[in-house]
Amino acid sequence: MLKATGIAVDLAGKPVLQGVDFAAEPGAITAIVGPNGSGKTTLLRAMTQEVPYHGRILLQGEDIATTPGWQLAARRAVLPQASRIAFPFTVLEVVRLGMMASAHAPPEGRAAAALDRVGLTGFEGRFYHELSGGEQQRVQLARVLSQVWEPTGPDGARWLFLDEPVSSLDIGHQLEVMTLLQDYAQGGGGVVAVMHDLNLTAMFARSIAVLSQGQVVAQGSPGEVFSDALLSRAYACRLRVSAVPRDGVPFILPQLAAPST
């Protein structure tokens, strides 16, 4: 499992995260939500060592600060928010970059299989920089998937850390990608995603951490965390949580500042 305790991050002298505790189990999607500037991306970046942090982060019981980079690369992959690539690589070449971390040469067909899973079969020969933002995001996801292809390894779960994995996708591809992540988790892998869309989060995440002003104000199941009061306070606007009639999945609707209620 992933366990972060007492995480504090200062960026440019200003505290962005203070005393954050966060945990995630493999087997289900764990989401980090919160308003803009609440520190969700910073928390993900701390847990992937992209920013210096105070506190302790354990992945499968090992402190990531003292685990060698190549060992971590075999265990976890990280999807960045927006990604430009410096030179004109083809889609196939980008996906293959993800496989450089493995000790043994992965089978030739893995890149094609990864592209298939993100619905980009036939894009192999296209240039990455000529694709749309949403297509680039899915190519990057295929690259990240090809890095930790099997959800579990001999030393336990493999982990995907994703910063807004569906932010520039249309609704069909959002569902496709979220389902893919769910499958990965159900195969035994760990998935930690910073999410923007609360309804998608409610639909797919088993555990949700809500960040507000650099602190975790709640972590639990969608039913526990998503309440009118908590979300309205965190996002500083009036939100109403209802439930999908048939399966009880919460959905969140904004309420305009009407004079009633």
- Give yes or no for residue 67 binding another protein (CB under 8 A): no
- Give yes or no for residue 97 binding another protein (CB under 8 A): yes
* Window contacting another protein (CB under 8 A); options: 125-133, 192-200, 208-216, 223-231: 125-133
- Give yes or no for residue 106 binding another protein (CB under 8 A): no
- Give yes or no for residue 76 binding another protein (CB under 8 A): yes
Query: Could you tell me the sign of the dihedral formed by the alpha carbons of 245, 246, 252, 253, in that order?
Result: negative
Helix (H, G, I), strand (E, B) or coil at 162: strand
List, edge to edge, every strand of the sheet that includes 76-79. Answer: 76-79, 159-163, 190-194, 29-33, 205-212, 215-220
- Give yes or no for residue 147 binding another protein (CB under 8 A): yes
- SS3 percent helix, strand, coil of the chain, rounded to 5, is 35, 30, 35
Per CB under 8 A, the list member of 29, 43, 44, 72 interacting with another protein is 72
Per CB under 8 A, the list member of 116, 130, 155, 170 interacting with another protein is 130
CB 221, min distance to another protein, A: 29
- Give yes or no for residue 107 binding another protein (CB under 8 A): no
The DSSP output letter for 219 is: E
Tokens 């975790």: give the residue: 216
* Contact present, 55 and 10 (Cβ < 8 Å): no
Per CB under 8 A, the list member of 19, 55, 62, 83 interacting with another protein is 83
* Window contacting another protein (CB under 8 A); options: 57-65, 117-125, 173-181, 249-257: 117-125
Rounded Cα distance, 183 and 29, in Å? 10
Per CB under 8 A, the list member of 5, 37, 65, 100 interacting with another protein is 100
Rounded Cα distance, 104 and 187, in Å? 22
Token pair for residue 56? 């302790």
b/e burial code for range 18-28 (CB count within 10 A of at least 16 → b)? bebebebebbb
Per CB under 8 A, the list member of 90, 167, 186, 199 interacting with another protein is 90
- Give yes or no for residue 74 binding another protein (CB under 8 A): yes
The residue (of 190 and 222) whose beta carbon lies closer to another protein is 190
- Give yes or no for residue 98 binding another protein (CB under 8 A): yes
- Give yes or no for residue 131 binding another protein (CB under 8 A): no
User: Closest Cα partner for 43 from 81, 80, 7, 88?
Assistant: 7
- Give yes or no for residue 88 binding another protein (CB under 8 A): yes
Query: Can you give the binding site for another protein, defined by CB under 8 A?
Result: 48-50, 69-74, 76-78, 80, 83-93, 97-98, 100-101, 122, 124-127, 130, 147
